[in-house]
Amino acid sequence: MATMRAVDVQGGRGPATSMHITTIPRPTPTSTQALVRVRAFGLNRMDLLQREGLYPLPPQAPSTMGVEFSGVIEELAGESERGFKKGDAVFGLAYGGAYAEYIAVSTHMLVHKPDELSWEQCAGIPETWITATQAMYMVAGYQPGQSILWHAGASSVSIAGIQLSRADGASKIFATTRQDEKCRFCEEELGVTKAFNSEKGDWSEELLKATDGKGVDVIIDFMGAGFFQQNLNAAARDCHIVNLAALGGTKMKGGEDISAFFRKRVRYEGSSLRSRDEDYQGKLRDMLVEHALPKFKDGTFKVYIEKVFDWEQIVDAHQLMESNKTKGKLICTIPW
C-alpha cells in the first residue's frame, strides 16, 4: 500500500500542540478525481474548529484537515474532467485532506495554475475567493451600485470580497475589525469607504452616520449573535444579510428588536460552502476562473499573505491564526 505523510491530531481532537506529522495511506483517485502532489496549502478558521472537534464534516470529507491547496497532478481517474493531464500545475478546493503530501480531489474543483502566480498565492485563493463570490453574488444577489459591508474586514474572505466589491462598482464599501491597525489596513490598503473598530462603541451608529441614515444594501456577516441587532440597525431597506459564521456567538442575549425585518424588508440568510455538492462548487469554480482569474493575472486582484510556514511548523501556524492578529492568509509549504 502506498503511503504519505500528513498532519494528524493526537487523540482526534485537541489544541494546536496536539498536531503532528504522521504516515497514513495515500488516497487513490476515483470517478472524476485527480491525485495531486501538494506544494502548498492554505489555513482557514474552520481548520481550528475541526482540530478541536467542533466542525461537523460533510460525509465525503477525509479526517485530515485542509480544503485549499496548490500542486501537480500525479494521476487521473477514468472520468476526470477533460482539459487536465498528468503533470499539470493546479490549485483547487477540496472537502478536506490538504494538510498532506497528496490529495485526491474532483477535477471539477481544480484550476490551472497561472504562471504569474506563485504556489503560495494559488494555495490562498480557492476557499476564500470562492466563499466571497458565493456570499456576494449567489446568495446576496449583489448588483453594481449597491453599498456593502464586510465584517472581519482583515480576514481573507473579506479581503477578497472587498476587492470584488471595488471591481464591480459598489457605491460604498464598509468594513468592521477589532483593531485600529486593521481598520487602517482596510482603508489605506484595500480602499474601503470607512472601517469601524467594533471594540469602540456601536459601529452601526457610525455606519448610519456615514450613509446619511440610509444604511447598507448588503451585509456579509461572520459574527452571528454578537452583531445580530447591529446588523438590523445598519441595514438599508431591502437589505440582504448573509451569515457565514458565528465568531461572536450563537445565542442572543435577549431583548433584540426584530421589527427591522418588516420595517426595512430585511432578508437574513445563512450559508456555507463546504457542505455544498460538487456541481454547486463546480459552478463557483467556473465563476472564479471567468471573472477573477484574469484580474489575478494582470495584478488587479491580490492575494494578501501574512506569513508562509514550512508545514513542519504547523503548530506555530495554527497558534498564529488563533492570535487573531493576522491580515490575510497563512500558507504552509511542503518542500519537494
- CATH number of the domain residue 250 falls in: 3.40.50.720
Distance from C-alpha of 322 to C-alpha of 197, rounded to nearest angstrom: 19
Are 226 and 303 contained in the same domain? no
Are 136 and 242 contained in the same domain? yes
Question: How many other CB atoms are found less than 10 A from the CB of residue 255?
Answer: 6
The domain of 97 spans 3-125+276-333
Are 73 and 115 contained in the same domain? yes
Distance from C-alpha of 203 to C-alpha of 226, rounded to nearest angstrom: 12
Are 230 and 293 contained in the same domain? no
What CATH number does the domain containing 98 carry?
A: 3.90.180.10
Average pLDDT over residues 54-82: 92
Give the tens place of pLDDT for each residue, 259-278. Answer: 999 999 999 999 988 778 87
Are 84 and 16 contained in the same domain? yes
Distance from C-alpha of 4 to C-alpha of 300, rounded to nearest angstrom: 38
Give the tens place of pLDDT for each residue, 284-308. Answer: 899 999 989 999 999 999 999 999 9
Return mean pLDDT, the chain.
95
Give the tens place of pLDDT for each residue, 117-137. Answer: 999 999 999 999 999 999 999
Question: Rounded to two decimals, what is the model's pTM?
Answer: 0.93
Are 261 and 283 contained in the same domain? no
Pairing outcome for strands 216-221 and 148-150: parallel
In the chain, how many domains are there?
A: 2
Are 183 and 287 contained in the same domain? no
Residues shown for the chain: 336
Are 223 and 148 contained in the same domain? yes
